[in-house]
Structure formats: C-alpha cells, structure tokens
Amino acid sequence: MNKDQHVEFLLRLGDNSLVLGHRLSEWCGHAPVLEEDIAMTNVALDLIGQARMLYSHAGEIEGKGRDEDAIAYLRDVLDWRNCLLVEQPNGDFADTMARQFLFDVWNFEVFSALTKSSDEQLAAIAAKALKEISYHRRHSGDWVIRLGDGTEESRAKMIAALDRVWGFTDELFQMDDVDKAALAAGIGVDLEALRPAWESHVGAVLAEAGLEKPSVTWSVKGGRTKGHHSEHLGFLLAELQFMQRAYPNSNW
C-alpha cells in the first residue's frame, strides 16, 4: 500500500464522520424535544472529533503540511470521499434517524475491525471512537423502533424514510483498489465481509419495530471511491467552509 492510498483510506473515514456530523449539527435548536436536541448535538460532536483525529493522522502521513483544518476547509467537492448516504438532507426526524441508523450499524462494524489495524494510531483512534459509535448505534436503533412501533403516522414516516435511503447502502460495502490495498497491508477492512453482520443487526431492529426490509431496487455508488456526489454535498460544503474561504488562515 503506497502513501497516497493510505491517506485516501483515512480521508474516506474522516469525510464520513465530518459530513454526517455537520448534517446533525443542523438539527441544533430544532429537534422535537430538548433532550433529543442535546443528544444529537453530542453525536455530532463525537463525529466531528473522530474526523479531526483521522484528518490529523492523514496529514502526518501525507507530509505536505496539511493539518486538519486545511483538509476540512480547503478541499473542493470532487476531492471528498464520504459515502453518499451521509450527505443526504436531514428531511424530517424519521429521515434523519433512518439515515443515522443504517450508517451507525455499518460504522460500528468498520471501527470494530479497525481496532486490529496494523496502523497503530488508526487502531487507537478506532478503539476510542468505538465507545462513542456503540452509543450512536443504540440511540438511532431505539428511535427506529419507537417510530416504527409508534403511531400510524410515525410508522408511515419511518417506512418512507427507509425507502428513501436504502439504495445508498450498497456503496458501504463496495471495495475498490484503495480498500483492497489497505486490507492487504493489514490496515483496512474487508467491507464485503461486514455485510452479513450489518444485515443481521439491521434486520433484528426492523423486526422489533414491526418493519420489513425495504424492497427498493435502485442503488447509487461513487461517493467513496470516485468523488461523484449528489448535489447536496456542494451546498453543505459551501456552509461548512464559508468562514475559511471568506477569511483565509483564520484562527478559531
């Protein structure tokens, strides 16, 4: 595995966390109840903290003087390698929880495997993050159950939400040359091998919620591996990067 592939592998992980963290931050002050407003803000902070650690590590390996701020604020949209799922708009509360749950279950499996990475710093980051991700998975799963097994309206909203995001999940298990090189070096994860555990946990939660797996047949890929994103990411980055773009080299 060469250095460029190592850096890109880390950026993919960090981009997932930062983009989803930003999405959740958009709920601050707007969640259905105060307790949930605080909970989602804390999850957003966890994700942003994970992104910071991954970006700092990537910058050190790259050796070109880029720190976490440069990586987060000075890349254009085609340079981002997050999965398409996390950049999708918040929609209503059911949309947000469906997106969060499907990602959290996958993220838990990924970071569990990364605790054994031959990249010792990545393994340490994964071990720290896994404690947070365990809570994220439980929190979003509880909401899928509450909404799915709740009122007629909440059930209908959760079914519709799962239908809207399910087609983005195939990308989570896609392996390209970067992923294969990381796996061969003992740094990365066999994403394809994670699908059974993901399907098992997702299926168990849906069953408890009285919901069925969506029957959608569409699938979209390309965010992680090619930087081919939906129109939503450009708008998200315009907000995320505004201050640094408007006032270069600002110190927070």
> pLDDT by residue (tens digit) across 74-132?
999 999 999 999 999 999 999 999 999 999 999 999 999 999 999 999 999 999 999 99
Once rounded to an integer, what is the mean pLDDT over residues 63-70? 94
Rounded CA-CA distance 194/221 in Å is: 17
* Average pLDDT of every residue of the chain: 96
Residue 214 in this model has a pLDDT that exceeds 70: yes
Share of the chain above pLDDT 90, in %: 93
pLDDT of residue 39: 93
* Architecture of the domain whose range is 3-246: Up-down Bundle (1.20)
The domain locations on the chain are: 3-246
Residue 250 has pLDDT above 80, yes or no: no
pLDDT at 33: 87
Instruction: Indicate the pTM of the whole model.
Output: 0.96
pLDDT for residue 58 is more than 70: yes
pLDDT band, very low/low/confident/very high, at 249 (cuts 50, 70, 90) = confident
pLDDT value, residue 209:
98
pLDDT at position 252, please?
59
User: Which has the higher per-residue pLDDT, 34 or 116?
Assistant: 116
The stretch 25-31 carries a mean pLDDT of 91
